[in-house]
Amino acid sequence: MDKQDELERLRERALSLNQAIQDLDHDIERAVHAAASGSTDTGRAIAMVRDRHNDQLGLMFELGKVEAQIADLENRVREQDERGEEQRAAQEWQAEIPVAQEDHLDWLRPVLDAPEQLVGPSREERHPHHEGEERMLRDMQREDLEPDDYLDWWRK
């Protein structure tokens, strides 16, 4: 049995439960009117109303469970339909995308394969701020030396 057949069966079950609830409601209303008019025994009418009401509550509980099953099954059917559409759209999208002829990191291969001495930039290619950093490092290293130990002490 596929999901559509099961969904239809559950909907028919819900309709029959709803009809049974309405029939019990009609019986209860008839018994109340008969007891109010005094045409029947009041004690027997109250017992019958109580029995019908309990039956009605049980059917309402069953109806709630069936409606929850219907909602769950409808969600699963909808998700299955959406999943099919999503898969079809993904397949169309993948068919339109050209297949890559090279790895995305192939441009990095020459740098990785180069000898280590060629990996770093040469002195001419370096940015000018590197020279300032090197000069500052040299100056910091000679701070503990006396001014007589280096020749450009008078320029400061």
Residue-wise pLDDT tens digits, 70-115: 999 999 989 988 888 888 888 888 888 776 666 667 777 777 777 7
Shared-domain flag, residues 88 and 116: no
How far apart (Å, rounded) are the C-alpha atoms in residues 62 and 17? 8
Place of tokens 């309709």: 15
Shared-domain flag, residues 90 and 136: no
Cβ within 8 Å of residue 32, ≥6 positions away: 45, 49
| 39 pLDDT higher than 50 | yes
CB 135 within 8 A of CB 155: no
Q: What is the mean pLDDT of residues 10-31?
A: 93
Per the structure, the count of domains in the chain is 2
Range of the domain at 118: 106-143
Q: Which of 41, 73, 96 finishes a domain?
A: 96
Q: What is the mean pLDDT of residues 123-136?
A: 69
pLDDT at 50: 92
Examine residue 148 and state whether it is found in any structural domain, yes or no: no
pLDDT at 119: 46
pTM of the complete model beyond 0.75: no
